[in-house]
Each structure stands twice: as structure tokens, then as C-alpha cells.
Amino acid sequence: MMKMTFPWFGDNDPVTIDNLSYMRGVAGVSLAGSDLSGGTISVERIAAERERVESGGYVCRVLEDLPVHRDIKLRGGDFERHIDEYRENIARLSAAGIGVIGYGFAPEADDSFKALGRDGLWANLASFVREIVPVAHKRGVNMAFRFGELCAPGSGTDRLIADEGDIDKFLSLHGAPCHGIAMSSAGLESSGFDAYLGMINKYVSTGRIHYALLRDVRAKEDGAFEETEHCSPHESRDMVRVLTAYQEAGYGGFARFDHSRMSRPCERGFDMYDRAVGTMYVTGILLTLSSRVRATPKEKIA
């Protein structure tokens, strides 16, 4: 069964590690990492956070986001120094015990990105992948590309990953097994739900899903999407079928419920209530699916 993690924002998080004892089925904690942009990372800081998490009995192997500097995306300014820092940070995170690093490459809002365009951004992403993957491979770190990130309004660029062909294109940028994705339904709305389920099976079988982001969304008529509340009877991404696809494909990696209703004010939109409800909703489905697998044919639920 996949390993459910709980997103934690460190010392600034109103949720403490002790609070996790109320959520049975949580195997680990994923560190946010969104405040790590710029400069090199303190191994001591990350190691201390891991120690705090693991002293509570939870695994801490995932950093959800190691931000990519805009100069790297544009391949301008002081990008070479930032790439060197990024490679160093991968090595430092590995030394601190992190085994999965998430990252994205979504364009920001300014005229430079408009001039670069989608093809230019793809070319810069390809260069970046070739520059960081050898370090990750050497250090035993899996890089999980977060392709579901929203592009900033005014960037003039659509998502880099919009369908299965784009995922294949991204994975073809490097052959190392550590070069993979954080699988999400976001960004794949035009592909259709059945195609998305097929992609789960395909990329689990190739070992390229390094993190599973389990997001409930409802498709709109214009092809966009909106996130739905937990256990919604109207969502377009049937979470039971999504988790069944992961289970049948044999995915045993890390996962978390991605976002939530975000109906209560909180740092980054994730309070204890929404994170707990989403996590336990998914965990309940996983335990039910697991019990079906263990049952004899006569006992299985039709």
C-alpha cells in the first residue's frame, strides 16, 4: 500500500507533530520546502526537522518543493550560480536524509516569460534536467517534477505538461530512474478521466512516479477545473477509482492528499482540519481496498 504522508510546514505550522497521533494511518511527514529559495540549505536545519518528525514515530523522506530560481527558468541573469546552488542543495538534502525532492518549472508573470514562450521554457527545462539529474542519481535522490503547478497570470505560457505525450517528452529528457514525476490529475483535464487512470498504471509500471498527489477536482465546461471538498459526490476525479488504479499497479511510494476545500483561513490554505479530513478520507479508502485484496474471492465486495 502507498505510504500516506502529512504536509507539515515546520515551526510556523499550527499543527504539531504530536497532533498527528489523532490520524491513524499516516506513515510519514512531508516537509514543505517553499521557504528554501535562495542560497544553500542548512543540513543541520533539515536534519533537525527530520529528527523531530521521526522522534514521533513517523518517516520523513520527502521535501515537497525545492524552488527553482526564475533566472534558471529564463536561462539568464545569474543562472549558472543558481544551478550550482541547486546541485549543492540536492547533495545537502541527501546528506540530511531526504530521498524524494519535488520541484516545478512554472513560468512567472513578466514580459521575459512571454518572450520565451512555451518552446523556450521547454528547452530551458531540458537543460536544467540534464544539469541536476546526475547529482540526484549519484546521491540516491528521486526528483519528482510537479507538473500540476499553475502558471502565473500574465506569463503568456500554458502548462508545460498538458497530456500523456508531454509527460513522455519530459521523462525522455533523461534515462536515470531518479528522473520522475509527482503524479497529479491537475494539468491533465483535457485527457479525460479514463486516460488519467491509464497513465497511473503506465508510469507506476515504469517506476517513474516518485510522489503521488491525490487531488479531487471537478472539470468545468471550458476545460478548466476547480478543487472540490472532501468526499464530494460530484467530483470528476473519482478518488476510489484513482486509488484502485494505484493499488492495482502496485504503487508503494509516498503520497498525500493534495489540497482541500481551503474553506478556512490558514497559512498556505492548509489548516489542521482540512489536512486531517483529506488524509483520513484517503486512508480509509486505501484500507478498504487493502482488505478487499486480502479477502477470499467469496468474501470480496462485488
The CATH number for 262's domain is 3.20.20.150
Asked whether residue 63 is domain-assigned, the answer is yes
Cα dihedral 1, 215, 179, 172 sign: positive
From CA 5, how far away is CA 29, in angstroms rounded? 5
Domain total of the chain: 1
Domain assignment of residue 111, yes or no: yes
126 occurs within a structural domain: yes
pLDDT digits (tens, 9 = 90+) for 227-265: 666 666 655 568 888 999 999 999 999 998 865 555 444
H or E, element range at 226 = strand 225-227
Range of the domain at 149: 3-294
Residue 128 contacts residue 87 (beta carbons within 8 Å): no
- pTM of the shown model: 0.88
pLDDT of residue 298: 43
Q: Is residue 300 part of a domain?
A: no
Nearest to 3 by CA among 211, 294, 176: 211
Distance in angstroms (rounded) separating the CA atoms of residues 271 and 267 = 7
Angle value at C-alpha 216, between 104 and 3, nearest 5 degrees: 70
Task: Determine how many CB atoms are found less than 10 A away from the CB of residue 240.
Answer: 10
Q: What is the pLDDT of residues 38-96, one digit of tens each?
A: 788 999 989 988 998 999 889 999 999 999 999 999 999 999 999 999 999 999 999 99
75 domain-assigned? yes
Residue 299 domain flag: no
- Nearest by Cα to 96 from 52, 151, 146: 52
**Are 31 and 47 contacting, i.e. CB atoms less than 8 angstroms apart?**
no
CB atoms within 10 A of CB 55: 9
* Cβ-contact 64, 75 below 8 angstroms: no
Q: Which of the 8 DSSP states describes residue 150?
A: P
What cell was used for 178? Answer: 531518479
Closest CA to 183 of 159, 148, 207, 216: 148
301 part of a folded domain: no
Q: In the predicted model, what is the mean pLDDT of residues 151-161?
A: 75
The tens digit of pLDDT for each residue in 116-126 reads 989 999 999 99
**DSSP output for 58-83:** -EEEEES--PPPHHHHHT-TTHHHHH
CB 28 within 8 A of CB 3: yes
Q: Residue 231 is placed in which grid cell?
A: 468526499
The predicted-structure confidence for 91-147, as pLDDT tens digits, reads as follows 999 999 999 999 999 888 877 888 898 999 999 999 999 999 999 999 999 999 998
Residue 51 within any structural domain of the chain: yes
Helices (H), the chain: 43-55, 70-74, 79-95, 111-139, 164-171, 193-205, 239-249, 272-294
